[in-house]
Amino acid sequence: MLSSRLVMKKLFGIFVFLICINALTAYTDKPVIIHIDKSKQLDTNGFNIGKEIVNATYQLIIEEKISLYLSPRKESRISASSLMAIESSNSVDFKKVKDVFFHEYWTSNRRKTLFTIVGISFVAKSKAGENISLGYIDLKEAWPHFGAMKVYMNENGNAGMNITEAMYSRRYRFNIIQFGRKDFKAKPYKSIQCRKRAFNGKKEREALAPFKRNKRVKYLIQQRTSEPTEIGNLIYTNIASFLNQNKQVLLNIGGGKYFDYKTLKNDVAVTRIEVVEHISEFKEGGLNSEIQELLIYVNNKPLNPVSLKTLLIWDIIFNFNSIDDVLRGKKFNYTLLELNSVFIPEEESDWYRQGIKTYDWSRLSYFVESYRKKNK
């Protein structure tokens, strides 16, 4: 048997080895620059982070809500008019910038990685293929605006994400071009190794925005006037009855734009009802829906959106059920109008509805595309 002293020496050696390994792979506030190529982003993520950043930044610069600096040193500013002059003299367009660079600080050890994004640089290509710097923004100025700006989300993505959340989701393609003083020009493969070490699956990754599996859906309830007791028809007639019995409510939710007490002598008809809801997947299967609002049209005129909270206060009953129960149950005909930020053609509504129920949510566009090809 090994003596206790020998065992202790071996354990001490392992301990020292682990400390050395951790020291070699651990770092604090390491300056890092990552490159995002707008043309190489995956549509299965639902958004193009490069495109969103470029469009939002240009808008904020032109509106003079944030400063554009010549470089990360922030020694001099570029005004909106100067930016336009740079674009004109070099025949480039800021809105068409393909290459975006995040300036970050990373802290990492064996257990977790933390990253903070502090600024963004923009580089355009001239017709001659030269790199044209279009400046740098400090995110301390931009965060309040980015947090209020929703990203355009295709049918594959998740609803309600703002630009800040999209940036911190890390659900986009990027390459490390500078890590401290290393630039990886001689050995590009080491950039990939560096990224894997920092963001491997076993590590806890702090600062990542939560990635919720949900979608924004907007649909039109179809009214079947030939069947008075059909639930879809009851939604129309019962809401119309409530509004006609409560004219002040009708005027308060937008009816005042079209009517007043003098012109509102006859009853109005509810001619169209659109529903906006968020849907999510249960882990055990099935869908959960959260009604956001109704868009009600009277006499073909749109009223203001009505929240679920307001609808429940109205206390309209449909076959002993609340409006929330009825809409969640969906025992009526409806046509999908929008999925996230995407308009859905009427002829593709059923394909998308089937895809939502049966297919991978991050690949819905591919599911529908297969139906398009079959029906050509």
**pLDDT tens digits for range 229-253:** 899 999 999 999 999 999 999 999 9
CA 195 from chain centre, in angstroms, equals 24
**Polymer length of the chain:** 376
Instruction: Output phi, psi for 89, to 5 deg.
Output: -70, -25
Q: What is this structure's pTM?
A: 0.83
Same domain for 247 and 267, yes or no, is yes
Q: Are residues 45 and 188 both part of a single domain?
A: yes
For residue 347, give the DSSP letter: G
Integer distance in angstroms from the first to the last C-alpha of the chain?
A: 78
The count of other CB atoms within 10 Å of the CB of residue 10 is 10
Picking from 160, 180, 206, the residue at the C-terminal end of a domain is 206
Same domain for 224 and 157, yes or no, is no
- 235 lies in some domain: yes
Range of the domain at 272: 214-344
- Do residues 45 and 147 both lie within one domain? yes
Binned at pLDDT 50, 70 and 90, residue 205 comes out as low
Instruction: Decide: 35 and 122 in contact? Cβ < 8 Å.
Output: no
Q: Is residue 368 one of the residues assigned to a domain?
A: no
Would residue 6 count as lying in a domain?
Answer: no
Domain boundary among 149, 178, 206: 206
Structural domains counted in the chain: 2
Q: Is the per-residue pLDDT at 9 higher than 70?
A: no
Same domain flag for 274 and 165: no
User: Where a domain ends, among 174, 206, 238?
Assistant: 206
pLDDT tens digits, 260-317 = 877 788 899 999 999 999 999 876 667 889 999 999 999 999 999 999 999 999 999 8
Confidence of residue 201 (pLDDT cuts 50, 70, 90): low
